[in-house]
Structure 1
Amino acid sequence: MKIAARFELWERLRQARLVTGDLLSAPSSTWYIRAMLGFAGWIGAWFILGFVGTSFAMVMRSAGAASFAAILCCGGAYAIFRLPSKGDFAGQFGLAVGLAGQALFAVAIFKELSPSISLGCFIFFCVEALLTVLMPNFMHRIFTTVAAVAALFYASVQAGLHGVVLSIVAAACAVVWRGEMRLAARAELWQPVGYGLALGVLQLAAYSAAGEAMLSGLHHGEADWLQRHGNDVGTALVAVIFLAVTVQILKELDIEVSGKEGIAIVSCMALIMAASFPTHGLAAAALILILGFAGGNRVLFGLGLMAVASFLSHYYYQMRETLLIKSMILAATGTLLLVARWGLLRLIPAKGGRQDA
């Protein structure tokens, strides 16, 4: 974007009261720098935990001592994040201290509630949700959101609601990214939460793709129907959310859902969701992909694209059928996509009167 256009856009945003200050005071850190700082903070957190564990063994053995140390770490991280002028080093150090505080909270909770894993996970989810709101740091909010999603998922495994939790997180992710303009006034909160929810959706979808064997160790007693078919339920609900997002995007583009174009597009999307149902996780990856594409978010779009390729590869290499059957499935899927493209191009001519064969 040219400098003049950036100043013009910033002025319009300031008049709409979506931003404050001058353009030069806007954050200049790009997403890949934040990602590198996040990984560096994660490594630093492990070093801090190792120091605490070796030097103050009592902290790791007592739930009360671990809670006190966690409060100190999170309070110190909050103070660092609130500094009026901080460089990358201070931000990275605060991130490492904050992540160490989260780990100490987990140690304290599960030491105190070791017999009840579900209750401990739910309490940890509440702690992470609170830290997400309070900690004014981009990467820290992403980490706490992902941790909160994982804790809620494990808390629901005992009740067999892990598939429902996947759909709830997917719906929350769709609400955040499709309501990006409405939430722009609190972008410093909702943008990292949106990225964290997207990563959380893919994380839960990966558990779903891994199958019931990965979750069987957390079940006590005989599994009921919802526990055995939780992955199928979650995939079906995510597919419904995908179709709902598609309908909303069509309405924003002034395309009548009940018209010829709308019916054709929704039908093709429903056909793709039905074909992808055996590949657990593919519907969630497609949801992230369409959210990124519709919002013009390259990071989200790239994340969804990599997730689609990953889940397809996992499905292909985990299948127990012969190479001939796998090749037939791939050929049938490719043929289905080409037929859908051909039908859409015939029903919806390209602008300018030119149709692409």
Structure 2
Amino acid sequence: MTQSAQLLELLTQNQLLIKQTTLPQQNQSPWYIKVLLALAGWLAALFFFGFFAITLIDITDNTVVRALLGLAMLLTAYFILRSPQSEFLEHIGLALSLTGQILIAWALLEHFELKNKEIWLLGAVTQMLLAWFMPSFLHRVFSAFLGAYAFSVFMALVGLPALFSSIIMFVCAWLWLHEFQVKQHIPRFRAMAYGLTLSLIMIKSATTLEWLWREHNDVVSDTHLSQWLDEGLNCLILLYVAVILLKRYQVTFSSTESLFCLAATLLIGLASMQAPGLIAAMMLIVLGFAASHRVLTGLGIMSALYYIAKYYYSLEITLNQKSFSLVILGLTLLILVKGLSLWQQQKLAAGAQTHE
């Protein structure tokens, strides 16, 4: 039995692969065909919705009718997305769902203000429900992204701006760490994890909620303290990720490897606290490297470069302070890498002497 056959047999025994005599042949379209179909789907949807809006412009003046029409569009999008996979139909369903959500939000804004806490909480819950139930990968990513953003605005409005990024970061880490543990929900977990990852990168940029800080200054009583608390909680989540990965690789906590890993994680987290977002980027890199996930690793690297550049060109602190912080972080990483390399060489040498 070849190695590939053994792997297939092992996956079948663990119920990770359905045993069948012949695998169905799936014709995967090239990426440029998918892009053209997506553009065609959105163009057709725009023409249809434009004609629909002009025809029913008088009916949509009623708030109740607008909300019911939005719900009907959401249900129609659900059944379209449940149909056999087609890039064209998927984007039509996504556009239909987005239009329905806009109509519902428009109806709600007739009775609530934009800075009302309840409407943002309702939006976050609604988007998370859509991310769970809508049978489309793109729709789940989009809904998880919007739900996380709505939740962050809600947390800021209730006076807890130091917690929302940590909560989103923890849920994002949990989803990536437990992606394959519930077999029937793997597509849901992966799509929601992507959406939360993108929202985390956006939220940690600290520019997406500036409209709220400018117009609602009483939301944040002490921005500096909130930033340090936020980064401290992010550092704890980075430690949580390290602990879970050590358990996964069956490394005992009393071993030298475990203590070195936890100490290095804590040291890197503390050294990165002054640069907002860098801890979250490092977490994405670690998760991507641990799962051999190139897209996640790439997102982590790109976001880390962005956060470093943003921190270096920010005007809140002096250039000398920023340079000193980055030098400390760089030296910390170099010392840890060199120490780990020397320790690994000594361990290999000791093992070779034992075998001799």
CA shift for structure 1 position 122: 0.9
The answer to whether the Cα contact below 8 Å between 2:161 and 2:220 also exists between their aligned partners in 1 is no
CA shift for structure 1 position 311: 0.8
1:98-117 superposed matches below 5 A = 98-114=97-113, 117=116
Alignment of 1:278 onto 2:274: yes
User: Which is bigger in relative contact order (C-alpha 8 A, separation at least 6)?
Assistant: 1
SS at match of 1:280: coil
The answer to whether the Cα contact below 8 Å between 2:42 and 2:92 also exists between their aligned partners in 1 is no
Range with greater deviation from structure 2 (12-21 or 333-342)? 12-21
Output the CA distance in 1 between the equivalents of 2:107 and 2:209.
29
Q: CA RMSD in A?
A: 3.4
State the TM-score, normalizing by the size of structure 2.
Answer: 0.83
Range with greater deviation from structure 2 (210-219 or 87-96)? 210-219
Distance 1:223 1:173, change over 3 A: closer
CA shift for structure 1 position 250: 1.9
Could you tell me which residue of structure 2 aligns to residue 219 of structure 1? Answer: 216
Range with greater deviation from structure 2 (45-54 or 273-282)? 45-54
Output the CA distance in 2 between the equivalents of 1:194 and 1:26.
29
State the TM-score, normalizing by the size of structure 1.
Answer: 0.83
Determine which structure has more spread, i.e. the larger CA radius of gyration.
2
1:72-111 superposed matches below 5 A = 72-83=72-83, 85-111=84-110
Distance 1:286 1:28, change over 3 A: farther
Could you tell me which residue of structure 2 aligns to residue 301 of structure 1? Answer: 297
The answer to whether the Cα contact below 8 Å between 1:261 and 1:347 also exists between their aligned partners in 2 is no
The superposition leaves residues 121-177 of structure 1 with CA deviations (integer Å, 9 ceiling, x where unpaired) of: 111112112212221111101111111111111111111223212111111111111
Distance 1:198 1:9, change over 3 A: farther
The answer to whether the Cα contact below 8 Å between 1:247 and 1:266 also exists between their aligned partners in 2 is yes
Q: Give the partner amino acid of 1:68.
A: L
Distance 1:17 1:122, change over 3 A: same
Distance 1:330 1:171, change over 3 A: closer
Distance 1:19 1:54, change over 3 A: farther
SS at match of 2:253: coil
Could you tell me which residue of structure 2 aligns to residue 158 of structure 1? Answer: 157
1:1-357 superposed matches below 5 A = 9=7, 12-20=10-18, 24-25=23-24, 40=39, 54-58=54-58, 61-83=61-83, 85-114=84-113, 117-207=116-206, 210=207, 213-217=210-214, 219=216, 221=218, 223-225=220-222, 229-319=225-315, 326-349=322-345, 352-353=348-349
Distance 1:220 1:330, change over 3 A: closer
Range with greater deviation from structure 2 (7-16 or 117-126)? 7-16
The answer to whether the Cα contact below 8 Å between 1:45 and 1:100 also exists between their aligned partners in 2 is no
Identity of aligned residues (%): 27
Q: Give the partner amino acid of 2:134.
A: M
CA shift for structure 1 position 246: 0.8
The answer to whether the Cα contact below 8 Å between 2:271 and 2:328 also exists between their aligned partners in 1 is no
CA shift for structure 1 position 120: 0.7
Distance 1:120 1:93, change over 3 A: same
Output the CA distance in 1 between the equivalents of 2:114 and 2:209.
23
The answer to whether the Cα contact below 8 Å between 1:18 and 1:185 also exists between their aligned partners in 2 is no
Output the CA distance in 1 between the equivalents of 2:23 and 2:282.
37
Range with greater deviation from structure 2 (272-281 or 259-268)? 259-268
CA shift for structure 1 position 52: 5.3
CA shift for structure 1 position 73: 1.5
The superposition leaves residues 27-79 of structure 1 with CA deviations (integer Å, 9 ceiling, x where unpaired) of: 77699789959985778777766555555444664432321221122111111
